[in-house]
Amino acid sequence: MKSTSDIRVTTIPAIRYTDPDRAIEWLKTALGFTEKVVYRNTAGIVEHAELAFGNGMVMIGTAGRNEQTAHWFVQPHSVGAVTASVYLIVADCGPAWVSAKGAGAEILQEMETKS
């Protein structure tokens, strides 16, 4: 059986945030993501960012920045529902759970052991 470090990533989620700087800092602090690159425009607004976690990555952008594609996306607060989910694979979910919760994550479902 392959370990998670042997698996090549084939899908990368892209998430648009209204405050990508805050999201980037939260992902780094609460969950241990590392910042690979952040591209900003001349006004300092995040156009594209890449954060790594293990052998995976997430791409971050600013919601509504691209006029051609802005209508494709909706922010969860505008519809009152979750619009996407991303799974984080860790060796021990307890510490990751405690860190995320301590950093202010909105908990939609309590952690439980499943068989």
Q: Quick check: is 23 in a domain?
A: yes
**What global pTM score does this model have?**
0.79
93-102 helix and 20-31 helix, angle to the nearest 10 degrees = 140
Q: Quick check: is 107 in a domain?
A: no
Q: How many CB atoms lie within 10 A of CB 46?
A: 20
Calculate the CA 67 to chain-centre distance. 22
CATH number reported for the structural domain that contains residue 58 in this entry: 3.30.720.120
Share of the chain above pLDDT 90, in %: 41
What separation in angstroms does the CA of 13 have from each of 16, 56, 106, 111?
Answer: 10, 9, 20, 23
Q: Quick check: is 36 in a domain?
A: yes
Domain that holds residue 61: 4-73+81-102
Residue 10: what pLDDT? 74
pLDDT digits (tens, 9 = 90+) for 60-86: 988 877 778 777 777 777 777 777 778
Domain count, the chain: 1
Higher pLDDT, 73 or 4: 73
